[in-house]
Amino acid sequence: MAVSAIYFLHDRESEPDFLFPWLFYLVQHDNGNIRQSAVRMFRNELGPLTVHIRCPEYNNSSNKILNKKRDEILFYMYDELDFLLCKFYKPIYKKYKYVSSLPTGPYKSIQLVIGKLGFDCGDDYLKKLKEKLLLFTPLHF
């Protein structure tokens, strides 16, 4: 509960990536309530981080530096989430067609965040993130 209070009190504009390291630990937690809280916190952060992708007509020259920082945060967030998906993947998950039908656990929580990221950013932006990920980081196995 204390992490949740600290999260909602932080200044999102000056420190947009303030709690991301904590959120990556929380989304892996054994307790489902803690994982669900982390998923909600990720979803709350994705709105301000993806506004320049969803509404490019509102971009002006003063936001270019901020947008570059947002892109950087999204890249590192996607990289870490992709690593965690590989870490928690089990072959039994192949039989599930929808994320909602997956058994509860860290893998499902991470998939929920990745799904929201894909919805907010769009397929083209996610393809760019995947290409950048393959170019700059080794594969996580």
Q: For 52-67, what is each residue's pLDDT tens digit?
A: 888 877 765 556 667 7
pLDDT of residue 63: 63
Q: How many domains does the chain have?
A: 1
* Spans in the chain with pLDDT lower than 70: 1-20, 59-65, 136-141
The reply to whether 6 falls in a domain is yes
The reply to whether 71 falls in a domain is yes
pLDDT of residue 4: 54
Residue type, 10: H
The reply to whether 66 falls in a domain is yes
pLDDT of residue 108: 95
The reply to whether 131 falls in a domain is yes
Q: Which domain holds residue 131?
A: 2-136
pTM for this structure?
0.78
The reply to whether 141 falls in a domain is no
Structure tokens at 126: 């996610």
The reply to whether 35 falls in a domain is yes
Residues 55 and 136: their CA atoms lie apart, in Å, by: 28
pLDDT of residue 141: 42
Q: How far is CA 16 from the centre of its chain?
A: 13
